[in-house]
Every structure is written in structure tokens, then in C-alpha cells.
Amino acid sequence: MPTKVPSLAEVSKKWVEVTPGRQGYYESGVKGAGADWEKGASDGVVAWKSAISAANIDKMMLGGIKRAGAEKYTRKAGGVGVTHFSSGVSAGQPDFEKGMGPVLDAEAKVDKPARFPRGNTANRRRSEVFQEALTKMRAAQRGAGG
């Protein structure tokens, strides 16, 4: 005998009506959960590497992209994204500063080579010294050497 389940419309309606009222549960659940997240994420590095190295990972990724589709991206970015953009920028300021501080510090330490006349291939070195400094900084930040 088939299992009786509510219709998708009923489940969706209940989710939209009930879930927003559970914001307090969400808030209490995320408070202090950072250490658990960090441990779980760190413990999962081996599984992550295996997953991204799987023979069919490109097909899995492409399948997920196709399943979500351009319409969902446009709808969510144009709706939710737009309404939360300003508050997200404001809330992200401390993280922005934490991320950009080391970048600006690394760039400030770069001794730029002399500028040559326009079109001179030696001018590429001016860009390369910044790329090298930032690559070294990122590797050092992530414990991957420098």
C-alpha cells in the first residue's frame, strides 16, 4: 500500500507560514556553534579532497548548475540578493577589513620596478611583483607555505 503524504502545495504552504516563526531556534542554534563548525569542516578535508577528485565531479557540477538553472539564479539574485545587499555589506565590514588588511599590507611592502615607456614588455614586471607578493601572502595565511 502506498504511503500517504501531503501534497507539495500543502507542505510548501506550511513551510512558508511556520518556518519564519522559528527564527529564534535558528539564532540559538548558531550561537556558539563556530567551534563545532570548524572541527567538522577540518575533519572533512580528506572527504572534500576525495569528492573534488572524483572521476565524475565535472558532470556532477554541471548537472547541479543545469538543475538550478539561469531562472533561479536571476530570481534569487534579483529578489533576495537585492533586498539584502545593503545590510549584507554593512554586516560584512569587519570581515572585509580582516580580509583586505593583509592584502594592503602586502602591497605596501612591494618595491615596484621602474616604469618603462608604454608598450615595453618590462612593464609586466610591475604587475608580477604584486601577484607574487599576494600569492605568498595567501599561501602563508592558509598554512600552505610561502
Question: Does 9 map to a domain?
Answer: no
Cα separation values, 114 from 123, 129, 130, Å = 8, 12, 14
Question: Does 79 map to a domain?
Answer: no
Q: Is the pTM of this model over 0.75?
A: no
Domain total of the chain: 1
103-115 tens-digit pLDDT: 999 999 999 999 9
Which residue segment(s) compose the domain that 122 sits in? 93-146
Share of the chain above pLDDT 70, in %: 99
What DSSP element (H or E) covers 49?
helix 45-52
Whether the predicted pLDDT of 21 surpasses 90: yes
Cell of residue 114, nine digits: 621602474
pLDDT score of 145: 59
Question: Does 123 map to a domain?
Answer: yes
Question: Does 28 map to a domain?
Answer: no
Question: Does 66 map to a domain?
Answer: no
Question: Does 11 map to a domain?
Answer: no
What is the SS3 assignment for 63-83? HHHHHHHHHHHHHHHHHHHHH
